């Protein structure tokens, strides 16, 4: 006696559905894969459009930016900081110096080999790849460091993955900035 066609199909339905679901999920995962960047990338500090080297540092929690002559002051009852950003633009080899003011978000305590210190944290806009990010940056004199901007994990979780074997995988292009 022959089985009806319907029962043979229904017997394979679970495996067919599983294969289709796997194909759909895999295709979706590939389409929405995060970007992969190198451990050093060129980025822009906005709105000044200064191109500098960013170190993508998975060991740091908070991002950090080079700043000198940091002065705290009060404005409209809030804590603010005034600071100088003096950097070499990697595109033009020109030194760019500007004085900025930002409202403080918070203070952080940073512990290192030389002891602990408090640093102000402000919101700054930067361009990395083709995305603009407004993120928290601690301000610190990074003159003796190789990289004036360090991107920490709080920002990296929005940026993508870091491939430690690569550098300079993308050019910053935030034309809307």
Where along the chain do its domains lie? 1-33, 36-167
d(CA 74, CA 14): 66
Distance CA 97, CA 59 (A): 29
Residue 32 pLDDT: 61
What was the pLDDT predicted at 90? 86
Instruction: Please state, in angstroms and rounded to a whole number, the distance separating the CA atoms of residues 77 and 152.
Output: 30
Tokens of 57: 């540092």
Residues (pLDDT < 70) of the chain are 1-32, 176-177
Q: Rounded to an integer, what distance in angstroms lies between the CA atom of residue 26 and that of residue 32?
A: 10
Q: What is the pLDDT of residue 47?
A: 85
Instruction: State residue 2's pLDDT score.
Output: 59
Instruction: Specify the pLDDT at position 23.
Output: 44
What's the pLDDT at 35?
84
Stated length of the chain? 177
Find where tokens 């080999």 sit.
Answer: 113
Question: Is 10 strand, coil or helix?
Answer: helix
User: Which one is the CATH code of 36-167: 2.40.70.10, 3.40.225.10, 3.60.10.10, 3.40.50.300?
Assistant: 2.40.70.10
């Amino acid at each position: 006696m022959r089985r009806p066609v319907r029962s043979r199909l229904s017997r394979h339905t679970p495996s067919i559905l599983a294969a289709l679901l796997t194909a759909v999920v895999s295709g979706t995962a590939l389409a929405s894969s995060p970007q992969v960047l190198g451990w050093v990338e060129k980025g822009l500090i906005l709105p000044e459009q200064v191109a500098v080297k960013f170190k993508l540092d998975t060991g740091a929690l908070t991002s950090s930016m080079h700043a000198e002559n940091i002065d705290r002051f009060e404005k409209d009852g809030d804590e603010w900081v005034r600071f100088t950003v003096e950097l070499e633009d990697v595109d033009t080899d020109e030194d760019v110096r500007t004085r900025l003011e930002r409202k403080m978000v918070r203070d952080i305590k940073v512990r290192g080999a030389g002891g602990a210190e408090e640093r102000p944290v402000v919101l700054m806009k930067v361009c990395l790849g083709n995305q603009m990010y407004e993120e928290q940056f601690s301000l610190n004199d990074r003159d003796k460091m190789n990289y004036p901007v360090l991107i920490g994990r709080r920002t990296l979780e929005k940026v993508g993955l870091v491939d430690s074997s690569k550098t300079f995988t993308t050019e910053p292009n935030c034309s809307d900035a």
